[in-house]
């Protein structure tokens, strides 16, 4: 998608931003119209099933916010994701969808999403490497003599 398409999406949809580990996701929720009755999950220009290599646990992770608020999915989900692996990307999309749903109806959706822990950003990231060590915590083997 080009920048002009993204600005069109920002005008006519609700969006949210989510992060997990190294991945960052921007998700646009576009309401379904009578012309397109089928729900479409599109990630980086590809269908969700294709992007996540037919692993449907990632798709259920993504749709968890809709399940938590007991709302039938009435939105096309278009996500732009960068960085990290598939698990981190799925979690960042989930957080972005939850934040976008809060923009739709803050008073009803936010308490349900908060109780289920879907609005909490997981702050755990990879620990940096320290000097004198091989990795973040791994040191060279101790030699007695």
What are the pLDDT digits (tens) for 87-132? 999 999 999 999 999 998 888 899 999 999 999 999 999 999 999 9
Give me the chain's average pLDDT, please.
Answer: 89
Tell me what pLDDT residue 10 has: 57
Note the pLDDT of residue 35.
67
Cβ burial 89-107 (10 Å sphere, 16+ → b, else e):
bbbbbbbbbbbbbbeeeee
- Of 103, 134, 133, 135, which is closest to residue 119 (Cα–Cα)? 103
Question: What CATH topology corresponds to 3-115?
Answer: Ribosomal Protein S5; domain 2 (3.30.230)
Helix (H/G/I), strand (E/B), else coil: 113: helix
- Whole-angstrom distance, CA of residue 68 vs CA of residue 43: 22
Q: What is the pTM of this model?
A: 0.85
Strands 75-82 and 41-43: parallel
Per-residue confidence band for 39, with pLDDT thresholds at 50, 70 and 90? confident
Judged against a pLDDT cut of 80, whether residue 6 lies above it is answered with no
């Amino acid at each position: 998608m080009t920048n002009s398409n993204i600005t069109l999406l920002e005008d006519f949809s609700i969006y949210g931003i989510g992060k997990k580990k190294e991945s960052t996701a921007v998700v646009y929720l576009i309401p379904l119209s009578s012309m397109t009755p089928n729900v479409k999950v599109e990630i980086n220009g590809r269908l969700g099933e294709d992007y996540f290599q037919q692993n449907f646990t990632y798709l259920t992770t993504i749709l968890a916010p809709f399940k938590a608020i007991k709302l039938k999915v009435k939105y096309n989900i278009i996500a732009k994701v960068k960085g990290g692996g598939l698990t981190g990307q799925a979690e960042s999309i989930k957080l972005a969808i939850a934040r976008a749903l809060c923009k739709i109806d803050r008073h009803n959706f936010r308490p349900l999403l908060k109780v289920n822990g879907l609005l909490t950003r997981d702050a755990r990231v990879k620990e940096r490497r320290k000097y004198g060590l091989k990795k973040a915590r791994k040191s060279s083997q101790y030699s007695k003599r």
